[in-house]
Amino acid sequence: MENAVGHRPMTEFYKDVSGKPEKFSAFCWIEPTYFQPGANDDHPPHDVLEGKLLIANVYNALRANEPLWNASLLVVLFDEHGAFTITFRRQQQLRPIIIKRNTRSID
């Protein structure tokens, strides 16, 4: 629950970013909205343009405040969502899949 204390809505970010640089937080982590309505997380099946718009809005808000922009570092990170890994114990080995030509069987 302690992490939730620092969580604030994006409307407050936009209000803060328009203020004096010395009043702006030393660190901001922006998390997109993952669920409808208003999903802007750039993951299917959501509209990826909404994710791009979120990044553009943050960038433009920072650029609009030149003193803050000159004192800021904007880092945009993307995860490669959709990939899964399988972990095997060292003793386990995968059985190779052999596909025989001109047949419909897979061994």
What does the pLDDT read at residue 17?
A: 94
Interval 74-88: pLDDT, tens:
998 876 655 455 555
Whole-model pTM: value is: 0.68
Tell me the CA distances in angstroms from 38 to 6, 34, 35, one per residue in order.
22, 8, 7
- What pLDDT score was predicted for residue 3? 63
Q: Rounded distance, CA 60 to CA 56, Å?
A: 6
Q: Could you give the CA distance from residue 53 to residue 42 in angstroms, rounded to a whole number? A: 10
* 43-72 pLDDT tens trace: 778 888 999 999 999 999 999 999 999 999
By the 8 A CB rule, do 63 and 70 touch? no
Confidence at residue 99, expressed as pLDDT on a 0 to 100 scale: 58
pLDDT at 60: 96
Give the pLDDT score at 26. 87
